[in-house]
Chains A and B, each alone.
Chain A
Amino acid sequence: MTRENVDGLSEQEAACWELLQDVKDPEIPVISMVEMGMIHKVRVESGVAHVEVLPTFVGCPALEIMKKNITEKLVEGEGIDEVQVRFVYDPQWTSDRIAVEARDKLRSFGIAPPPLGHKPGDEWEVACPYCNSPYTQLENLFGPAACRSILYCRHCKNPFEALKPIY
């Protein structure tokens, strides 16, 4: 997980991180935005929570929903009167930011997680999230969301989705 300044967190900020565990990715309801590595920073100053979020894709239509969901969740926090959500691009979100334990959750939801440490020029090999077979084929680079592709497992005959490696 990618909390900044873990040691320097105030109690209020730590409480915010806890609350954010309940804010799911709007397009993948099994995984939280924290697990996706999308929450970069949380800072609380005189009742105002400032949250920095790293978008996975620039044109992602779910960004406004995320903003709303984060805001609605954090105002539940004690002493939080206002929430300011800001999308930032430094650091960049990469698929390596997805928490290790979240990768299993993705598989259980039928989505193959992106490979770790993928570099430009690397081949993208995708194992089936259902039967783990490497005998899969890419049907469409672009799926129901910008961040996902559609594949087919030739072993267990299931269609499935995979999160694109972003690096």
Chain B
Amino acid sequence: MGEALHVENVEQALQNQEYAQALADLLFQLADDDFILAYRGSEWLGLAPHIEEDVAFSSMSQDMMGHAVMYYEMLEALGLGKADDIAQLRESAAFRNAILVERKNGEGEYNDNPHYDWAYAIVRSYVYGLHKQVRLEALQQSSYQPLALISRKMLTEHRYHLMHWQVWLKQLANSTPEARNRLEAAIAKVWQDAGELSDLGLNADNIARFGLIAGEDLLRQKWLNHTKKIFQNAGLSWPGEPGTAAIRGRAGEHTPELEQALATLSEVYRIDPAAGW
């Protein structure tokens, strides 16, 4: 069914209301995941373990923010409002990101005694990145051509993010007992939420039926297989089946931590909507 579909552009997508709706639902998930995790990454600026890492983390966050912009612009093309407004003026209940990406970086606030958890940053970024890779690969077969094209471009950049997190994971896994313990604690914490990544939300059936992206089960299997290999190679024990948070981000349920992130990131835009971001 999905195989036969080939939607060249936004005009064609809008001819089928159900298709356009499923496309928009998927784009919100893709955009919000990248956007919120890029924000969390940017909160590390000046706090990363060393200056080279500051540069690297900022660079990756900037890439991810750029990917989110692409998706928000596709939503704008679908007539859902200005990309900047979609990103910065929605209430948290309208966000479709997975809970994993909205979690705070650790104790404290950026400007007030930040005691962020570096191991958590590495594991979250890497586990998310591995899922994102599977998702981008699947999107290359998307029935929506603009999405298939842009995902290939993103993949070329994303490859370098994975290389970066891979180095950290390996080094910490083979470092001191303290590093190892912190890493394992971070894996356990990330794993409590990670299962939601391949959730395609309330419109999952239509998203798969229209061939917008592969179904949840396939995404999940590929991602877990890939992650399992990487954990094995680093000598880390497999944490088992990933869990999901008590609330469902893909359905618009979120923690107060997302509210905090949205309030901070949209502060300038709310004061001055003409500002660029």
- Residue numbers of A with Cβ under 8 A of B are 55, 57-61, 64, 89-90, 92-94, 120, 139-144, 146, 150, 164, 166-167
Interface contact B62-A59, CB-CB below 8 Å: yes
Within 8 A of A (CB), among B105-161: 149-150, 152-154, 156-157, 159-160
Contact sample, A vs B, 8 pairs, CB 8 Å cutoff = A58-B63, A58-B154, A59-B62, A89-B149, A120-B159, A142-B60, A144-B55, A150-B52
Residues of chain B within 8 A of A166, CB atoms compared: 156-157
Interface contact B153-A142, CB-CB below 8 Å: no
Residues of chain A within 8 A of B52, CB atoms compared: 139-140, 150
Kindly report which residue of chain A lies nearest to residue B69, judged by CB atoms.
A59
Residues of chain B within 8 A of A146, CB atoms compared: 59, 62-63, 157
Q: Which one of B55, B64, B152, B163 has the highest number of Cβ atoms from chain A below 10 Å of its Cβ?
A: B55
Q: Which one of B55, B58, B149, B153 has the highest number of Cβ atoms from chain A below 10 Å of its Cβ?
A: B153
The minimal Cβ–Cβ distance linking A19 to chain B, given in whole angstroms, is 27
Residues of chain A within 8 A of B160, CB atoms compared: 141-142, 164
Is B164 interfacial (CB 8 A cutoff)? Answer: yes
Residues of chain B within 8 A of A89, CB atoms compared: 149-150, 152-153
Q: Count the B residues whose beta carbon is within 8 Å of the partner chain — how many?
A: 26
Kindly report which residue of chain B lies nearest to residue A167, judged by CB atoms.
B156
A-B pairs with beta carbons under 8 A, tally: 63
The minimal Cβ–Cβ distance linking B125 to chain A, given in whole angstroms, is 13
The minimal Cβ–Cβ distance linking B189 to chain A, given in whole angstroms, is 26
Q: Which secondary structure characterizes the binding site on chain A?
A: loop
Q: Which one of A58, A164, A166 has the highest number of Cβ atoms from chain B below 10 Å of its Cβ?
A: A58
The minimal Cβ–Cβ distance linking A67 to chain B, given in whole angstroms, is 13
The minimal Cβ–Cβ distance linking B175 to chain A, given in whole angstroms, is 19
Interface contact B153-A58, CB-CB below 8 Å: yes
Expressed in whole angstroms, the Cα–Cα distance for A142 and B156 within the complex equals 14
Interface contact A60-B66, CB-CB below 8 Å: yes
Residues of chain B within 8 A of A150, CB atoms compared: 52
Interface contact B149-A58, CB-CB below 8 Å: no
Interface contact B66-A141, CB-CB below 8 Å: no
Is B56 interfacial (CB 8 A cutoff)? Answer: yes
- Using A141-B164, A142-B160, A167-B156 as known contacts, say yes or no to A57 and B55 having CB atoms under 8 A apart: no
Residues of chain B within 8 A of A120, CB atoms compared: 159
Residues of chain A within 8 A of B164, CB atoms compared: 141-142
Kindly report which residue of chain B lies nearest to residue A54, judged by CB atoms.
B153
Is B250 interfacial (CB 8 A cutoff)? Answer: no
Is B65 interfacial (CB 8 A cutoff)? Answer: yes
Kindly report which residue of chain B lies nearest to residue A57, judged by CB atoms.
B157
* Complex partner residue of B67 from A58, A92, A139, CB under 8 angstroms: A58
Q: Which one of A90, A139, A150 has the highest number of Cβ atoms from chain B below 10 Å of its Cβ?
A: A90
